[in-house]
Amino acid sequence: MCDRELTQLISTAKHYLEAAETLPVSQDDLVRTVSTNSKLWAEDLKPYPLPLLDCYSAHLASCATRLATIHEILKGGTAEAWKVAYPNNAIITDQNLSEAITNAIEILLRDNVAHSEISRNARQKAKFRKTALDKLTFDDMHKHHRSRYQKLADELKAQNVVSSKTAGPSR
What does the pLDDT average to over 104-124?
Answer: 83
Q: pLDDT-based confidence at 37, cuts 50/70/90?
A: confident
Please report whether residue 165 resides in a domain.
Answer: no
Q: Domain range for residue 118?
A: 3-39+51-158
Please report whether residue 72 resides in a domain.
Answer: yes
Please report whether residue 29 resides in a domain.
Answer: yes
The pLDDT of residue 122 = 85
Strands (E), 23-146: none
Please report whether residue 163 resides in a domain.
Answer: no
Nearest-angstrom CA–CA distance, 7 and 126: 30
Please report whether residue 44 resides in a domain.
Answer: no
Residue 3: φ, ψ to 5°: -55, -35
Closest among 52, 61, 62 to 30, alpha carbons compared = 52
What does the pLDDT average to over 98-117?
Answer: 87
Please report whether residue 88 resides in a domain.
Answer: yes
* pTM for the full predicted model: 0.88
Q: pLDDT-based confidence at 123, cuts 50/70/90?
A: confident
pLDDT digit string, tens, across residues 41-88 = 667 777 888 889 989 999 999 999 999 999 999 999 989 999 999 999
Is the pLDDT at 38 greater than 80? The verdict is no
Residues 66/15, Cβ–Cβ less than 8 Å = no
Please report whether residue 170 resides in a domain.
Answer: no
Q: How many domains are contained in the chain?
A: 1
Please report whether residue 64 resides in a domain.
Answer: yes
